[in-house]
Amino acid sequence: MTKLYIVPTPIGNLEDITLRAIKVLKEVDLILCEDTRRSKKLLNHLEIDVPLRSHHKFNEHIEVSYIVKKIVEGSNMALISDAGVPGISDPGFLIVRTCLENNIETECLPGPTAFVPALVVSGLPIDKFIFEGFLPAKKGRKSRLENLALESRTMVFYESPHKLLRTLLDFDNFFGSNRKISISRELTKLYEETLRGPIKEMVAIYSNKKPKGEYVIIVQGKGK
């Protein structure tokens, strides 16, 4: 029976690809990816010669019918993102839901994702946590932060470099200056870095330091 495979890819260090992921990528008929140029570099490194098809947030609503049709006709497909697990702050949900609605078997392989190592090395409680991903840029941002200010579980956020300081200032305003946070960047890469401390300290650091790379922010829950 044909199926859709969800295949995690390295978030930085290419050696983090699993043996099973390599096997699946070599055996499928088509690989769906966000950026064909970026994915081609990974596949060339792994010596995988399988056709690629662009599948990203700007075309996924159009692409799903084609993908379902091809799988039903007998093609095995793999979905990858630029880095990490598809569907986690990346395209993936829509195609998985559509495949399931059409009784297409869907399998997700385990593999790299940025927030897990960032969470583990944060030094904050990880027995219970919530994943928030990227905060809304405008609409709903204030109300979301107001609700999260009361959250007792450890919180996980993603942020881009050009929005990092704004987000830290919002945390300072809504969560309080002394709430503990951990900020990780460039995970698994050469310049991997994690900074830990109260929010006010991180605001001071990044007010004088230009953010570089993608960030995972771990925030202490209220009262913890």
- State pLDDT tens for residues 107-136: 999 999 999 999 999 999 999 999 999 999
CA distance 30 to 49: 10
Where are the extended beta strands (E) located within 138-220? 154-159, 180-185, 193-198, 215-219
CA distance 151 to 134: 17
Sequence letter at residue 95: I
CA distance 86 to 83: 8
CA distance 178 to 104: 49
CA distance 103 to 126: 36
Do residues 82 and 90 lie in contact, with contact meaning Cβ atoms separated by under 8 Å?
Answer: yes
SS3 216: strand
Q: Which two tokens stand for residue 10?
A: 């390295």
What's the mean pLDDT when you consider all of the chain?
95
- Give per-residue pLDDT as tens, 47-102: 999 999 999 888 888 999 999 999 999 999 999 999 999 999 888 999 999 999 99
Do residues 56 and 35 lie in contact, with contact meaning Cβ atoms separated by under 8 Å?
Answer: yes
User: pTM for the full model?
Assistant: 0.92
Nearest to 213 by CA among 83, 121, 27: 83
- Give per-residue pLDDT as tens, 136-190: 999 999 999 999 999 999 999 999 999 999 999 999 999 999 999 999 999 999 9
pLDDT at position 101 is 96
CA distance 177 to 65: 49
Q: Where do the H-state alpha helices sit in 54-187? A: 60-72, 93-101, 115-120, 141-148, 164-175
Q: In the chain, what are the domains?
A: 3-108 (3.40.1010.10), 115-219 (3.30.950.10)
Give the percent of the chain with pLDDT over 90: 93
Nearest to 199 by CA among 174, 223, 216: 174
SS3 35: coil
Q: Which two tokens stand for residue 28?
A: 């499928």
pLDDT at position 224 is 77
